[in-house]
Amino acid sequence: MNRELLEKNFTNRGFKVSFFDSKEDAAAYLCGSLEGKKLAFGGSGTLKEMGLYEKLSEKNEVIWHWVNNTKETKMEALTAEVYLLSANGVSEKGDLVNIDGAGNRLAASLFGPGKVIYVIGKNKIEKDLESAMYRARNVASPQNAMRFGLDTPCVKAGGTKCFDCNHPQRICNGFSIVARPMLKQEVEVLFVDEVLGY
Ligand code: SF4
């Protein structure tokens, strides 16, 4: 993880950037800085591996559809003060790429909560936007499809690549590339020097 390059490029795009050696350090920082706020999470293996829901729930209201999977929960996430998620791919140049099936994570990360925090493990970082998109499509999405136990071609192939399918269970329906924070939005990117999520 090239911290100097990431700090320079992401800061230049208007993001706030922090670096952590471990997921425990990143979790402690979030617990200290977000106390008392209404939070919402996107679907994220990274946040789950960090145990963040349990940790942040001690002193915050935390909305997460992985705990209560209803449309109402996803709608309420749009009203949180702070939205936390990861990304499916990140470019060293300052791009955050995500792919959604239902679009709730994309919607909340782009509009609604005034502050958005991305937590990024080192395995998500690629050299440019094209490689970050490739990763999101061919690594993260097939792994997500595997997690859901879908019947899509990527799952039948063991989650090793995307077939750009037209399957009714396709989860890759919406793509977002965040190149700068949206207007009137504060976006913080936490880079963690560990493998987190997929
Ligand atoms: S587009 Fe289809 S094959 Fe490709 S990752 Fe998504 S669900 Fe799998």
pLDDT in tens, 103-148: 999 999 999 999 999 999 999 999 999 999 999 999 999 999 999 9
163 CA closest ligand 1 atom index: 3
> Domain residues for 33?
3-127+179-192
Whether residue 43 is contained in a domain is answered as yes
138 CA closest ligand 1 atom index: 5
Query: Is the distance from the beta carbon of residue 152 to the nearest atom of ligand 1 less than 6 Å?
Result: yes
Q: How far apart are CA 132 and CA 124, in angstroms?
A: 8
Whether residue 83 is contained in a domain is answered as yes
Q: What is the pLDDT of residue 170?
A: 98
Residue 160 CB coordination number (10 Å): 11
Q: What is the pLDDT of residue 78?
A: 97
150 CA closest ligand 1 atom index: 7
Average pLDDT of the residues in 76-103? 97
Calculate the average pLDDT of the chain: 97
Whether residue 118 is contained in a domain is answered as yes
Question: Would you say 122 and 1 are in contact if contact means Cβ atoms under 8 Å apart?
Answer: yes
Residue 95 host element (H or E): strand 95-100
Q: What is the pLDDT of residue 124?
A: 98
141 CA closest ligand 1 atom index: 5
pLDDT band at 101 (very low <50, low <70, confident <90, very high): very high
Q: What is the pLDDT of residue 5?
A: 98
CATH number of the domain within which 99 lies: 3.40.50.10420
Whether residue 165 is contained in a domain is answered as no
Query: Is the distance from the beta carbon of residue 89 to the nearest atom of ligand 1 less than 6 Å?
Result: no
- Total domain count, the chain: 1
Query: Is the distance from the beta carbon of residue 159 to the nearest atom of ligand 1 less than 6 Å?
Result: no
| Residue with CA nearest ligand 1 atom 2 | 165
Whether residue 152 is contained in a domain is answered as no
Query: Is the distance from the beta carbon of residue 98 to the nearest atom of ligand 1 less than 6 Å?
Result: no
Read off the pLDDT of residues 163-176 as tens digits, 9 standing for 90 and up.
999 999 999 999 99
Whether residue 113 is contained in a domain is answered as yes
User: Residue 9, SS3?
Assistant: helix
Read off the pLDDT of residues 20-36 as tens digits, 9 standing for 90 and up.
999 999 999 999 999 99
Average pLDDT of the residues in 142-161? 96
Read off the pLDDT of residues 173-198 as tens digits, 9 standing for 90 and up.
999 999 999 999 999 999 999 999 99
